[in-house]
Chains A and B, each alone.
Chain A
Amino acid sequence: LSRGARRKEPKGDWKNAVEHQLHVSDEFRTLDNDDAHFALREGEGKSFKFIKLAGTLRKPQTSHPEQIKFKFSHFIPPDFTATILRSILNKRQRISRPPGSSLSSLAECVFSKKTFEHVVTPIISDLQVEYCDALAANRKIKAAWVRLRGYWSLFKALGLYSILKMFVDAWRKISSV
């Protein structure tokens, strides 16, 4: 076997596990760790061809799902696999943007730097802190309320409330005439 194309060796007592699960030949048992690893890597996906050519491994006696399980269990940590599968199956694990981030970008374009730094940013930062605290305490209704209240505070602070009120008053006067 050539030693030139070696790859990173997996951790743990993996050679014993291979010998236990695949019923390997006596030749395989005599190989050192590096050569055994190389032999297995070459055999991945084309194991029967490899067995014929190299003559070091016999046909595995394990079933197909067990082979897959063996491959994954030795090259990917099981906790990591479980986390990925859980995140795919459970959509609640998704990470979204914090509330007010879009408003913040919009306000940065519309208002002056001073207004943005002294009024908009602190309100949005308070909103995000309170929102995260509520979510950390698993209080989703409170989080939604905090979000609404934060948007309302921003709306009021930027004087839009007075502009809207002016329009409403004007409309009432027009409609009463």
Chain B
Amino acid sequence: MKQNSKREEERIPSLSTKEALVLDLLLNKPSTGMYGLELVHASSNRLKRGTVYVTLSRMEEKGFVESRQEEPRPDAAGLPRRLYRVSGYGQKVHHAYAQAREAWRMRTLEVGGVL
């Protein structure tokens, strides 16, 4: 068990472009969290309705986001929805991803300048 947990800690977290976009959007509303449909609207259709929940579920498994069921309200229509927010680990991963992206951008600029 200990070896497994050590391996988990040593493993470099992977973050796809969609997952990075989800983290970006969620970090704009860190206190309240967002619904899946809100994320789709906020992403200006870069995220799709059919796949956003699969992505969020995968991210929750990785520990990047946390979710909770919305409390049912008498005036609200339909089933109670699920609210997503970024976890502490997700914030760290997003910060590292942003730094890596920035470093990559600077590097490409340098190479472009030399050429």
Contact = CB atoms under 8 A, between A and B. Distances in A.
B100 to A, nearest CB: 29
A114 B50 CA distance: 17
Interface in A36-60: none
B77 A118 contact: no
A104 B78 CA distance: 12
A132 B78 contact: yes
Interface string B50-79: 110110110010000001000000001111
* Interface residues on chain B, size class: 20 to 34
* Interface residues on chain A, size class: 20 to 34
Nearest to B83: A122
B51 A126 contact: no
B22 to A, nearest CB: 14
A162 B67 CA distance: 27
Interface of A: 98, 104, 114-115, 117-119, 121-133, 149-150, 152-157, 161
Interface of B: 35-37, 48-51, 53-54, 56-57, 60, 67, 76-82
